Each structure stands twice: as structure tokens, then as C-alpha cells.
Amino acid sequence: MFKYERHRSDKAEYLYHQFDTNLCFQPHLHRSFEFVYVEEGEIEVQIGNCRHILKGGYAALILPGQIHAYHTAEFSRSYLCVFSYDFVYDFYSSIIGKFSPNPIFRLETPYCIALLNTPGINRFRIKEALYSIVGQFLSNCTLQNIENNEINILENAVSFIQEHFCEPVTLKDLSNALGYHYNYLSAYLNEQLGMHFSDFINLYRIDYACELLEQSDLTITQIAYKCGFNTIRSFNRNFKKIRNFSPQDYRKIKRSTESNLL
């Protein structure tokens, strides 16, 4: 399931990092940089429609606005860091409107990872570590201009859906908002997301419904309409299709699990 990660898109000086074993993560998109380094094993990294094999000692840098995903087939140990563009603004301003067809490079000086994980590190040392990463990327990877600004089309489309998925929004509304022809936008989103517009917007609605089922006492009917569905039948059908449970069963299971933890 594709996700637009708002929490990694709008914060100033955003920094998140983690060590992973057997990293796997669904396709997602945000406005921050994402850096992944493989210590051992290998990871398949999908960036847009391209797949790359990342082996031990190598890293990848995903630029803001690129759809990406990870899959470990057998074994991997890795480090992942997500950081907002304002940490490396000079670099960011120089690569706007560009992409790298092969953003894989050997990390010659991995001290930057140890530096980022230093307790109490200040923002200037963080910049030092991040500029080391993007500097090594620039030394080893080529950049090309993005034709038709397609990454911005996708990012703007997903951002619009994120804002309006609880409303009776249609693909025509999206095409009017972005200024692209309906047929072009439909074909483009199908190719990029691997699903129809209606299926994609229902993912957001059902995610929100799950949150309401877990955290509120609203009725199933109230939740269905609050999430943008026109009928209870449509809500129940889509919920079961995506979550493999009815909304009522989902709520029972979640609340039963919570009570057992108390």
C-alpha cells in the first residue's frame, strides 16, 4: 500500500534515523531526503520505476518527492536516515528539477553514521555528517533533468488527496486543481501508483476509519460518512477488501487486544 508521509514532509530540521535487520517497507513518498546504507547482506531498493540492488558497503540517496520502497529477500543489516532539505539547503537548491538514474554509491567515509548517532550532537555536527553524505553522492552519481516535472505532479497529486480524501472528491476535481488533462492524469497516476484513483483514495479513507474505530465511540455509520463514503455498503465492502475484516470485527479485535494488555 502506497503512503504519503506528511510527518516527513512539513517539519523544519526534521531528522529521523534507525538501524534495521531485514529492511522491508512499502512504497512511500515525502519531501525529505532519505539515505540508506547496507552494512551486510543486500536490499532491493525501488525508486520510481527502477530497481537497484544495494550490497554491503554501498548506500543510496533518495531525493525529495521520489516514490521509493525496500525489500530484503534473504538478509540485510542497514542504517536509514530521513532528513529535511533545510539541513543541506545549498545541495538541495542545486538539484531542484533533477534526478539521478543510478543513485547508488560506495560510502567511502561511513564516519558520518557514527557522527549522526552521537548523543547530544548539535545541529552543526548534524550538517557536517549530512553534507558528507550528499558530497559523496555528488562525487559518484550523475544527475539529469526531470522531463515534464513529473515528480512534482505526483507529489502535488498525493498532497491534494491527503487534504481532501474525506470529501466526495473525484479525479476530475484533481485534474482541475492541478491543471492537467483528465485522461493524462488518470493514465499517469495508474502507472505511478499501480492502482486506480478511486482505489488509492479509499486507502486513505480506510486508514482514517481504522483510527476512528480504535480511538472513538462513533458508530460505524458515523465513521463511514466522516471518512468520505456515500453509503454504508460501500464502506463495508472497501474496508473488508483492504483490512480483511468488517469494521465491526476490526473494532472488537482491537479493543479486545487493548483490554488484555491492561
What residues have CB less than 8 Å from 170, skipping those under 6 apart? 197
**In the chain, what percentage of residues exceed pLDDT 70?**
92
**d(C-alpha 181, C-alpha 248), whole Å:** 40
CA angle in degrees (0–180, nearest 5) for 235-245-215: 75
**d(C-alpha 9, C-alpha 30), whole Å:** 5
Per CATH, is 202-262 categorized as 1.10.10.60? Answer: yes
What residues have CB less than 8 Å from 136, skipping those under 6 apart? 59, 105, 107, 108, 109
DSSP 30: -
**In the chain, what percentage of residues exceed pLDDT 90?**
70
Report which listed range, 5-9, 89-93, 191-195, is most confident. 89-93
Per domain, the residue ranges of the chain are 3-145, 147-194, 202-262
pLDDT bracket for residue 6 (50, 70, 90): low
pTM comes to 0.71
171 neighbors 200 (Cβ within 8 angstroms): no
31 neighbors 85 (Cβ within 8 angstroms): yes
Compute the mean pLDDT over every residue in the chain, rounded to the nearest whole number. 90
By CB neighbour count within 10 A (0-12 exposed, 13-18 middle, 19+ buried), where does 219 fall?
A: exposed
| CA separation, residue 108 to residues 132, 201, 228 (Å) | 10, 42, 50
First to last CA, the chain: 31
Per CATH, is 3-145 categorized as 2.60.120.280? Answer: yes
